[in-house]
Amino acid sequence: MEGFIRSKNDPEKKFQVGRRGFLKTGAAAAAMGVLGAIKAPSKIAEAATATHYGYIPGNKGQWSKLRPEVNYGGASVSYAEYNDQWLGTSKIVGTVKSTSEIDMGFSQVVRGLLGQKPKDGFLKPGRYPLATAFGLAIGRVSDDSVVGGVPTQNKLPIPDPEQMSMHIKDMAYYLRADEVGIGKMPEFAYYSYQMDPSLMGVVARRGEKNIEIKEKPFNEKMPYVIVVAVEQHLETWLASTGYDGIAIGQSYRCYHAVANIAILMAKYIRELGYNARAHHFGNYGAVMAPCLISAGMGELTRTGDCVAHPRMGFRNKVGAITTDLPLVPDKPIDFGMLDFCRVCNKCAENCPAGAITHDRDMVEHNGYLRWKSDFEKCTVFRVSQEDGFSCGRCVKVCPWSSKEDSWFHEAGIWIGSKGETASSLLKGIDDMFGYGTEIVDKYKWWLEWPELYKIY
């Protein structure tokens, strides 16, 4: 694959420094001395003057008991106000309309709108055994009766909204979430219609040639959204191509984890006497990207509607709980992702489907600005490629997703969150070390059966 570290005998080998050897020497300190001498440019995002007002998060011990301070992985983070012109750093230029889940990529595949081979590839059972195992487990917690329900009639006494918010975050961390945030629920984030059957209902019926998908109205309106994220395993990504079978295994593991967290939290809130509904991969009633942004969990990226977190990038999967439990929402954040994506292009350069745009600027889509990446190309590749099953190549190569914990990487992420000039510097260093495009064979633990990937 283009961009992988080449063998010693390859004359086209790019200059790359082994990252681990580098970090064990004084070269790292010397390099950081040079980087530290560079004055970080001021924030140039248009949103900075429109939405930022110097919000300061609570003192240590006020975020939660189990996670007193937010872990942004070294990124320089500022906070944004809620208003009608911006959702975080995403500019709203018109009316944002709720969408129907039936128009999402996998639904279009099952309906045959993207071709016969993609449909056959998605509906063929057993292409990756680990995904099949996780799919069974996710399906068991996907019914409407599991994700939602009627609250108890007698509301229990609860603390004030600020303390309740801390408690809710503690519960998410206790249930093994890696990150959690609370946001005002954007009304347009709800689907207008859901798929019927649900996506996991379709997955459970793999092997059938014709599955009819209908729409059913989704009418919920809640004031708050709690978003939980579970991190995908870094070393596994370092050993993966990004589009072998483990890519979907990584996704499904985290989808299963956040599904369990979301349904437990929603049920707990209903037991307190308040309305709550879980949203997860097996039964979403809402689009997660605006929920993430609203809850201070990240910014949009070049990939279109995918949201990156300051520490994890988008090497995670998320679920949510919508509720009327009185809470104090967090602020949307700005850590320079839009500036970084304008100059990086690494996901576009390495996308095997050619689905990610190289354009510098965003364009209007459904009333807001985003990069115009091609979700149909992405979807078709993920369900019909036969060198693996699905794809997470963009997750693997993104500089915000591919770093181990270290002082050096935290310093680099801090630089990358300081505007376009600094972002170009971080991208160059990232390429020099081969981050994201290498395959670290010693971390590979899983088995593959390539013959199962074949569709026909």
How sure is the predictor about 416, in pLDDT bands with cuts at 50, 70 and 90?
Answer: confident
Residues 400, 187: Cα–Cα separation, whole Å: 29
Q: Compute the distance between CA of residue 245 and CA of residue 129 in angstroms, rounded to an integer.
A: 9
pLDDT at 10: 41
Cα angle 268, 272, 273; round to 5:
120
pLDDT of residue 233 exceeding 60, the answer is: yes
Over residues 185-231, the pLDDT tens digits come to 999 999 999 999 999 999 999 988 889 999 999 999 999 999 999 99
Mean predicted confidence (pLDDT) in 427-453: 90
Q: Which amino acid is at 50?
A: A
Q: Once rounded to an integer, what is the mean pLDDT over residues 8-26? A: 42
Distance separating alpha carbons of residues 442 and 221, to the nearest angstrom: 48
Q: Which of 311, 326, 359, 87 is nearest to 224 (CA)?
A: 326
Chain CA centroid to CA 196, Å: 25
Rg of the chain over all Cα atoms, to the nearest angstrom: 22
Q: What does the pLDDT read at residue 45? A: 36
CB of 99 closer than 8 Å to CB of 184: no
CA distance 297 to 290: 10
Q: Name every residue whose Cβ is closer than 8 Å to that of residue 203 and which is 6 or more positions away in sequence.
A: 135, 139
| C-alpha span between 233 and 130 (Å, rounded) | 15
At residue 250, the pLDDT reads: 96
Positive/negative CA dihedral, 153, 158, 161, 162: negative
Give the Cα separation of 335 and 337 in Å (integer): 6
For residues 105 and 384, is the Cβ–Cβ distance under 8 A?
no
Burial of 84 by CB count in 10 Å (0-12 exposed, 13-18 middle, 19+ buried)? exposed
- List the beta strands (DSSP E) in 359-409: 363-365, 368-370
pLDDT at site 79:
93
* 237 three-class SS: helix
**Per-residue pLDDT at 12 exceeds 50:** no
Bridge partners (DSSP) listed for residue 3: none
Does an H or E element contain 337, and which? helix 337-344
State yes or no: pLDDT of 41 exceeds 50: no
Q: Average pLDDT in the 38-44 region?
A: 35
Burial of 326 (0-12, 13-18, 19+ CB in 10 A): middle
Main-chain dihedrals φ then ψ at residue 275, nearest 5 degrees? -75, 140
Q: How large a percentage of the chain has pLDDT more than 90?
A: 71
Residue spans of beta strands (DSSP E) within 287-334: 299-300, 307-308, 316-323, 333-334
Has residue 249 got a pLDDT over 60? Answer: yes
Encoded amino acid at 67, one letter: R
pLDDT score recorded for residue 17: 46
Give me the pLDDT at residue 434, please. Answer: 82
| Residue 33: per-residue pLDDT | 46
Closest CA to 399 of 307, 288, 310: 310
**Which amino acid type is present at position 226?**
I
Distance between CA atoms of 192 and 189, rounded to whole angstroms?
9
What is the reported pLDDT for 56? 52
**pLDDT range class, residue 13, cuts 50, 70, 90:** very low
Query: Please, which contacts does 156-159 make with residues 24 or more away whose CB atoms are closer than 8 Å?
Result: 156/271, 156/272, 156/273, 158/272, 158/325, 158/326
pLDDT tens for each residue of 363-411: 999 999 999 999 999 999 999 999 999 999 999 999 988 877 777 778 8
- Residue 6 pLDDT class (50, 70, 90 cuts): very low
Q: What is the pLDDT of residue 376?
A: 95
How distant is the alpha carbon of residue 337 from its chain centre? 13
Beta bridge partners of 225: 183, 322
In this predicted structure, which of 32-41, 74-83, 164-173, 329-338 has the lowest mean pLDDT?
Answer: 32-41
Residue 8's pLDDT band (cuts 50, 70, 90)? very low
Average pLDDT value over all residues in the chain: 86
Q: Is residue 61 very low, low, confident or very high in pLDDT (cuts 50, 70, 90)? A: low
pLDDT, tens digit, for every residue of 255-282?
Answer: 999 999 999 999 999 999 999 999 999 9
End-to-end Cα distance, the chain:
24
pLDDT of residue 426: 81
Q: Evaluate if residue 27 carries a pLDDT over 60.
A: no
What confidence score (pLDDT) does residue 418 get? 83
The type of residue at 327 is L
CA 163 to chain centre: 28
